[in-house]
Amino acid sequence: GQQLNQSPQSMFIQEGEDVSMNCTSSSIFNTWLWYKQDPGEGPVLLIALYKAGELTSNGRLTAQFGITRKDSFLNISASIPSDVGIYFCAGQAGARQLTFGSGTQLTVLP
Amino acid sequence: EAGVTQFPSHSVIEKGQTVTLRCDPISGHDNLYWYRRVMGKEIKFLLHFVKESKQDESGMPNNRFLAERTGGTYSTLKVQPAELEDSGVYFCASSQVAGVGGELFFGEGSRLTVL
């Protein structure tokens, strides 16, 4: 089946630093999504990307849909304590169900 | 408006026992999904209901798992008999529209621990 390789697995950063995480796949996806799971909560959609090369921002978050359609990255600028959580990428190919990455655990140190 | 709710939030059972997880989707959402995350791994698709019909159950691991959605409202996921490898967090999600553009709204998850 389709698989996504998400990295890094975990990150420890200082408050105010920028963060970058990415997902790669051997398969092509038509849609890339980024979710965040706060502690004790379910994943919540942050950004959706529908076109190769698309760059989309949501506040301090920026995500890009790779030109090859096999990768995507998420950047968080000027991190704050509430950015703590697990970030998941997800890809969708055609009418198939979403394929999720294994998550990036982000810890923001004061 | 209430979000997706799941019950129980945590269940600890012994191998061989039965557990039933419940999901109440957002009112009016015809699409209901079950996912599972085994510790540290990816969130994996289990199945998708459209109203009361199983649209896609390709992710169900084996016949120890039974999902139902009678009446097209809430859904249950029963594991019988539970095995150690069934431990993980079971997420339910619902959406108004299926496929591209249909945003999934997730519940908080039901953590299952099989001893």
Using CB atoms, pick whichever of B42, B56, B58 lies closest to residue A101: B42
Mean pLDDT in residue range B5-30: 97
Ranges of beta strands (E only) in B27-103 are 31-37, 43-50, 53-56, 65-68, 75-79, 88-95
Mutation site, B42, B95, B110, interface A, largest A CB count within 10 A = B42
Mutation site, A4, A5, A98, A105, interface B, largest B CB count within 10 A = A98
Q: Cβ contacts (< 8 Å) between B56 and chain A: which residues?
A: 97
Mean pLDDT in residue range B87-93: 97
Q: Is the pLDDT of residue B102 over 80?
A: no
Q: Cβ contacts (< 8 Å) between B33 and chain A: which residues?
A: 97
Give the pLDDT of residue A94.
Answer: 80
Q: Cβ contacts (< 8 Å) between A100 and chain B: which residues?
A: 35, 42-44
The alpha carbons of chain B give a radius of gyration, in whole angstroms, of 13
Q: CB contact, 8 Å: B36 with chain A?
A: no
Give the pLDDT of residue A95.
Answer: 78
Mean pLDDT in residue range B27-48: 95
Give the pLDDT of residue A89.
Answer: 97
Mean pLDDT score across all residues of chain B: 94
User: Which residue in B has a C-alpha nearest to residue A32's C-alpha?
Assistant: B100
Q: Average pLDDT of each block of 10 consecutive residues along chain A (110 residues)?
A: 90 97 94 95 95 95 96 97 96 88 96
User: Which residue in B has a C-alpha nearest to residue A47's C-alpha?
Assistant: B103
> CA torsion B87→B12→B94→A1, rounded to 10°?
10
Characterise A28 by phi-psi region: left (phi > 0), alpha (psi -120 to 50), beta (else).
beta
Q: CB contact, 8 Å: A44 with chain B?
A: yes
Mean pLDDT in residue range B52-76: 94
Q: Is the pLDDT of residue B1 over 80?
A: no
Q: Cβ contacts (< 8 Å) between B31 and chain A: which residues?
A: none
d(CA A110, CA B77): 41
Residue % of chain B over a pLDDT of 70: 97
Give the pLDDT of residue B98.
Answer: 81
Do A44 and B106 make contact, defined as CB atoms within 8 angstroms? yes
User: Which residue in A has a C-alpha nearest to residue B107's C-alpha?
Assistant: A42
